[in-house]
Structure 1
């Protein structure tokens, strides 16, 4: 590839700063891919770039081919709720890397991605969160009562999530508000009969959209890859989000005047047929597309990865236990996503990983453990929290191993 000389270091810095900020906002999988992408883009336009990263900010130093340099600080809060931007960014980066576009054109296209409206209207995001919750519900309790309860609670959670898009103040405390509202409705309307299962098991599907399981695993993966600062900060933030959900559940219980002893964790007797369990993953994948703004063209590869992940986890869990089965499933998921994502115009790796990752149910263990402790069930609570640490580590290491195994021998 023939390098192009960039005379104006300011133009190159502005483009790379905008690219860094956009990638920071889409760094739910981790920040380790930002540095190489920014450096490759700088090199394609005849310059060099280096980054000092934390999860929500970066110090960017850009040097043009004439030796002039500039350093800027870039901010971007990490999230995974607008993955349409991640999908649009990947082919642009491939074209830049291959020398197929000029700097002004690349900057124009990057601005268009940055300011593009959400691909789906608010009511489809609402429907997506409800379907996302309904698809996950049988994993908590395979009962028709769980499905019906989740439909109501998921609609409540989805309404608050959609409202938060228009009310920034609500967005700052959304996990707390959602968990408190879901807790009140669950305790007052749905958790009166122990035969229907514990109240936390009834709440969790509606709260699953807000549980930071992806951040927990991304933090652990960053720590295992040697990114100490980004991993540690992301881990603290994940715990903070989890504690917001936990506190909201407790506030809901207190508002209703219910004893925390009501937060038992006993599953109801299953009454869902096998076909309903099988179809639930189709509902789950459809909801994931709408809830996280993923383009519809990625439905079939995502559904395939979901079924592969569930099948591998179920099969190996029977052979070597839950931790071993989860680890193997994470390895297979990461390897498959890495191979599929190699194509320049194929789905980005983050999008391929997300639905399959959610099937491994990391964050729900933390919620169950904390609420069990609050209810006075100490042994059960600590057992769930210990399992959380073990499973999070197994998933994170599995994702790293799968990625390493699927990497090509030459860059």
Structure 2
């Protein structure tokens, strides 16, 4: 169970130890976990005899169906309804289960995911059309990497290079359609580590120094890999880095298209991250609540304050929902709304704008990235604290919540 939780901890690992410790206690043992983002040292003590196992796993969020299936099994164990042998069989069944959607539905999900995000970058029909093509390219490469896992470490570089070449050669010839980076970003959003950046900052804010710091470095590495891929695309096409200007085109999308884009985005998230489709209404409601709160609060107190308030509300609502025994895990409820707040794209824009020689604009984007990532992280921590019951389980002074 520790290994499965570790591999599915791409959005943060703060609940792994709490879940493992209480599940072991229900089975008559004591357990402790020393955790870093890609490894865990698990010690289990039964009747005075201790055993330690070291586990490794790359943290990700691409099989959330397994996270959904794990929660009721853990609840049955902790309630005494499931013994050790039956729990073991249930866990093996979860780990060996096939993905809930075939490869072509995951491909479609990534395309919808990018299309739903496109109007947030530039609300133009041209942006949506370009994203349909570029997002399809990204989706094909992502699904292909699932078949050939050895290529996964360089997937962000390959995707960003390919998208950069196609954008420069096909879609960025007329500056009236906006800067080339703005045309690329929606197609790269599936790979942009904005979620890792926010999760890392939230872990640091919650006192999980080691996991937060390491995850922050990993997120920066992924971001730089995407940035290098964009530059390689320019070099391969013989384009000057001065082409990396950051100017948005005039908006021509109607309001109804912007409203419907979140439905497309949420449906794509479910397919891309293997979330059961029956959760669509609830997750869509959480997305609209997050976007609505952010929009209203931004008008009142500015972008940073609006993002902070939206993150706090999202965290509080999902935490309260998770306290219900039959509700889905908090990670699954949080993820789509969380994606609407993540700002890894600001890091991409900042780096590429700097590479284009636009120093002031580039540093402005990077400063905005740091500010808003911190606002999201602190907002998420505050939301969890406010929504916790009166006597939450504690470990080392830190609040814990259910998986």
The 1-side partners of 2:151 and 2:234 are apart by 21
The 2-side partners of 1:304 and 1:231 are apart by 30
Question: Which residue is equivalent to 1:56?
Answer: 38
Question: Which residue is equivalent to 2:240?
Answer: 259
1:209 match: secondary structure: coil
1:71 match: secondary structure: strand
- Give the C-alpha shift of residue 340 in structure 1: 1.1
Question: Which residue is equivalent to 1:44?
Answer: 26
Count of equivalent residues: 392
Question: What does the per-residue CA deviation read over 1:142-177, in whole Å, with 9 as the maximum and x for residues that have no partner?
Answer: 000000000000000000000000112221100000
**Aligned counterpart for 1:407 among listed residues 382, 385, 388:** 388
- Residue 153 of structure 1 pairs with residue 142 of structure 2: no
- Residue 115 of structure 1 pairs with residue 104 of structure 2: no
Q: 1:296 to 1:143 in 2, by over 3 A?
A: same
Question: Which residue is equivalent to 1:4?
Answer: none
Moved over 2 A (4+): none
Within 5 Å, give how 1:165-180 maps onto structure 2.
Answer: 165-180=146-161
2:55 match: secondary structure: strand
Contact 2:350 2:362 in 1 (8 A): yes
Question: Which residue is equivalent to 1:367?
Answer: 348
Question: Which residue is equivalent to 2:371?
Answer: 390
- Residue 82 of structure 1 pairs with residue 82 of structure 2: no
1:53 match: secondary structure: strand
- Give the C-alpha shift of residue 344 in structure 1: 2.3
The 2-side partners of 1:297 and 1:400 are apart by 28
Question: Which residue is equivalent to 2:316?
Answer: 335
Question: Which residue is equivalent to 1:9?
Answer: none
Question: Which residue is equivalent to 2:122?
Answer: 141
The 1-side partners of 2:129 and 2:13 are apart by 39
Question: What does the per-residue CA deviation read over 1:323-364, in whole Å, with 9 as the maximum and x for residues that have no partner?
Answer: 000000000000011111112221211111111111113110
RMSD between aligned residues: 0.7
- Give the C-alpha shift of residue 137 in structure 1: 0.3
Contact 2:198 2:342 in 1 (8 A): no
2:292 match: secondary structure: helix
Question: What does the per-residue CA deviation read over 1:188-220, in whole Å, with 9 as the maximum and x for residues that have no partner?
Answer: 000000100000000000000001111111100
User: Runs of 5+ in structure 2 lacking a partner?
Assistant: 393-403
**Aligned counterpart for 2:73 among listed residues 92, 111, 116:** 92
Within 5 Å, give how 1:10-409 maps onto structure 2.
Answer: 19-64=1-46, 66-409=47-390
The 2-side partners of 1:76 and 1:114 are apart by 13
The 2-side partners of 1:386 and 1:339 are apart by 33
TM score, norm. by length of structure 1: 0.94
